[in-house]
Structure 1
Amino acid sequence: MHVVPLPALADNYIWLLHDDNGHAIVVDPGEVEPVEAALRARKLTLCAILLTHHHNDHIGGAGALREAHDVPVYAPDDARIAVATHRVLDGDTLKLELPSAHFQVIAVPGHTLSHIVYASEDVLLCGDTLFSLGCGRLFEGTPAQMLSSLQRLAALPGDLLVCCGHEYTAANGRFAQTVEPDNAALKQRVDEVARLRAQHQPSVPATLSSELACNPFMRVNSEGVIDWCRQHGAANDPITRFAALRSAKDAFRA
């Protein structure tokens, strides 16, 4: 399976997955034209649309694509996603024949209450829950919910490619280095991101193992993050530490 990030809107990525036989899936199409352009250029047939959550920058193009290509739209059970043709729930296995792909559906409340991710043997299609070197804002959920969601993702195989919804990695890295300035893996990742962005290349996907080594929101039990939280009066327990990190990131400007 080929995994292609399609830049869209201001800083979104629509994810295009396709096989060698011309069959394609798109994930979180916030607009239509990047998808149509990629299908034309690669001579692909769209077979399905996967949606992770209800925000318009992730579903805005799904209706037009569904009508143009007569394809199913898989989405969480949320009335705000009216374009869905199939609802999927936590623990479901989504089996797509064309292209041949199986995805585990995992509920990850936090960014929104109905957010889901799709995990195959190769990729983690995580919307706005997990970003490279960061995580989504808590628009609907609680710190405890989001931390639990991230912990569920942390238990998945480390070689999964983290396919997130936005190009936020450089800014996330600047914040992460204020938390763990001595993290060598983080420094290496930040340098890699700087090189990629200087070449106008996407900074994602990254592996889940890289996120476990570098992303402070996945590292609330690491000594470096605990030290930072202690300095900010929030070292008592993982949820308190996560909440302190998220609050600090919300206010961070650099």
Structure 2
Amino acid sequence: MWRLRSRACWQEAAELLRPAAERDPTAALARAELLIEQCLFTAAHWTAAEQALRLAEALATGPEERAAAACARGFLAYVASVLGARDRLDEAQAALGRTSALLPPDAPGRPLLDFRRGLVAENLLRDRTAAWIAYRRAHEGAGERGDELLRSYTWRHLAALAQAAGDHDRAREGFDASLRLREQLGFTVGVAPALAALAEVSAPDEAARMRAEAARLVQALGGVPVWLARQLGAARTPGAPPDGRIGREARGTIS
């Protein structure tokens, strides 16, 4: 499952989960999260993600299952607001607020919730202070729980905020840590964005090498992430998807 996901084969991974997802809330949520991640990297396949999420919401029973489904709902609304056809900020905020109400302070799902709240604050509300606070909480919580994939994201976003504040040394440290974690985990689809981010705070020759490697990876994965492919001018970049579109030029750390 991880190997398929990390190589941008989300639909294949989701198909493996389909039989269990019809009756098991944990499998249903895992399948929905896979398909939402596919939306994030492709800016397409919205209908499949929505259907999978509705099933996960219908199967959820206890507070933690309902919280996890609400957190996924907030993330899908966020991704759709950044890359899709319409603004779903209110839905994202309501769903993440519902998640927070359902989760106790020390729940395992708190770091992911904090991270997604940071995404909304950074990219939809344009509130860097609130984003930094949320990302720091997520970063510390992910570290305590050994969630290295989430830490690769929190490092990346904390670094982006440092870069925006003019602190290039701290930005380089964070982007480098994010890239290193993704390479160690074998999260291939996430390596190109990490390389491109690190290139922004690197010396010109080193930056050119990193962008070339990022473009090569994007090509090898069939043009994903689509927003990065367009920034890099990588070949095989898909056109506007049939069930969604990139609503604004996506730059910076959207994920």
TM-score normalised by length of structure 2: 0.35
**Higher RCO, 1 vs 2 (CA within 8 Å, ≥6 residues apart):** 2
TM-score normalised by length of structure 1: 0.35
Comparing both structures, which one devotes a greater share of its residues to strand?
1
